[in-house]
Structure 1
Amino acid sequence: MPYLKIQTNREVTDDAKQEILRKLSVLVSKNLGKPEKYVMVRFDPAQPMMFAGDAHPCAYLELKSIGLLESKTETLSRVLCQFLNDELKIPSERIYIEFADAKNSMWGWDGGTF
């Protein structure tokens, strides 16, 4: 159910991406209280991006999940920004995160919906 998409202008090696994806899968599962077997994480190739008028490292994330509570978004923002700062040296003030709660009937999986 949880889906995290990462877009950044930072070049990241394929090996590093795989390790980041593995860590983020665990991080999302833990912070949303959802089984990791349902977590999907995507790391797009580096994109031309600009934030605040310059092309210094920046990132845009989308986190969607069934039952994503607004009360959890501040903690999720802090945790995800800290992770990207630690792993990719992207300052938290150069990261946007879009949170979305999905209705279970609007999220398909395994030939049905949740």
Structure 2
Amino acid sequence: MTNATFKDKNSALKEVSSLVAKCLGKPESYVDVCIIDNVAMSFGGTTDTAALVTLGSLGCIDGRTNKKTSAAVFKYLGDAIGLDSRRGYIHFIDLPAEDTGYGGSTFA
């Protein structure tokens, strides 16, 4: 989510999907991406360009992978919307298989 505007959301969706799959070492068919732009948002007391990213994954959430993913995502956001990497957060969430539904069941 960001208060900035993505010029071409479809292109951004494809790029972020590929980027996340590569960073996590997962097939892109396991990745879903949602971009919410143009939201009213404040970070650090200002409304300068900011972002809040949530990345949930079944596994692949660990210190080394998170640092690599954070660097790649913030670089992308810097290039795409001019985001300063100190103007947002990424929340990494390790999703339990039994708490993640798919195809009418769960991954457990």
- Same fold (TM > 0.5): yes
In the TM superposition, residue 44 of structure 1 has moved relative to its aligned partner by 1.1
1:45 and 2:37 aligned: yes
In the TM superposition, residue 68 of structure 1 has moved relative to its aligned partner by 2.8
Contact 1:25/1:41 (8 A) holds in 2: yes
In the TM superposition, residue 91 of structure 1 has moved relative to its aligned partner by 0.6
Work out the CA distance in 2 between the residues paired with 1:95 and 1:52.
9
1:102 and 2:100 aligned: no
Runs of 4+ in 1 over 4 A off after TM superposition: none
- TM-score w.r.t. structure 2 length? 0.93
In the TM superposition, residue 75 of structure 1 has moved relative to its aligned partner by 1.0
Question: In structure 1, the residue corresponding to 2:26 is in which secondary structure?
Answer: coil
Q: Give the paired residue count.
A: 106
Question: In structure 2, the residue corresponding to 1:11 is in which secondary structure?
Answer: coil
- TM-score w.r.t. structure 1 length? 0.88
Deviations along 1:50-92, whole A, 9 cap, x unmatched? 1111111000000000003322111111111011001111110
Q: How does 1:1-114 map to 2 (within 5 A)?
A: 7-13=1-7, 16-71=8-63, 72-114=65-107
Work out the CA distance in 1 between the residues paired with 2:77 and 2:29.
23
Question: In structure 2, the residue corresponding to 1:8 is in which secondary structure?
Answer: coil
Contact 2:3/2:41 (8 A) holds in 1: yes
Work out the CA distance in 2 between the residues paired with 1:45 and 1:93.
18
User: Could you say what the CA RMSD is over the residues aligned between the two structures, in angstroms?
Assistant: 1.0
Question: In structure 2, the residue corresponding to 1:47 is in which secondary structure?
Answer: coil
In the TM superposition, residue 95 of structure 1 has moved relative to its aligned partner by 1.6
* Sequence identity (%): 34
In the TM superposition, residue 24 of structure 1 has moved relative to its aligned partner by 0.5
Point out the structure with the larger strand share.
Answer: 1
